[in-house]
Amino acid sequence: MKTLSIVLAVLGIALTPLAVAGVKTVVLVHGAFADGSGWQPVATILEHDGYTVYVVQDPLTSWDADLAATRNVLDRAGPCVLVGHSWAGMIITEAGDRPSVQSLVYVAAFAPDVGETAGALQAKTPPAGGKSIVTAGGGFLYVDPAAFAKDFAAGVPKATAHFMAISQVPIAASSFGAKITVAAWSKKPSFAVIPKQDREINPDLERFMAGRAKSETLELSGSHAIFLLHPKEVAAVIEKAAQTAK
**Residue 155, CA distances (Å) to 150, 161, 230, 242 in order:** 8, 9, 11, 28
pLDDT in tens, 24-60: 999 999 999 999 999 999 999 999 999 999 999 999 9
Q: What is the DSSP letter of 207?
A: H
pTM for the structure as a whole: 0.91
Please state which CATH number belongs to domain 24-243: 3.40.50.1820
**CB–CB of 141/133 below 8 Å?**
yes
Domain ranges of the chain: 24-243
**pLDDT at res. 246:** 78
pLDDT in tens, 79-129: 999 999 999 999 999 999 999 999 999 999 999 999 999 999 999 999 999
Chain centroid, CA 23 distance in Å: 17
Position 7 confidence tier, pLDDT thresholds 50, 70, 90: very low
**pLDDT at res. 199:** 98
Q: Which of 15-24, 53-62, 128-137 has the lowest mean pLDDT?
A: 15-24
**pLDDT at res. 21:** 64
* 4 has a pLDDT exceeding 90: no
* 217 has a pLDDT exceeding 80: yes
Position 61 confidence tier, pLDDT thresholds 50, 70, 90: very high
**Residue 245, CA distances (Å) to 20, 80, 172, 223 in order:** 11, 9, 34, 28
**pLDDT at res. 229:** 98
* 15 has a pLDDT exceeding 60: no
Partnered with residue 143 across adjacent β-strands are: 133
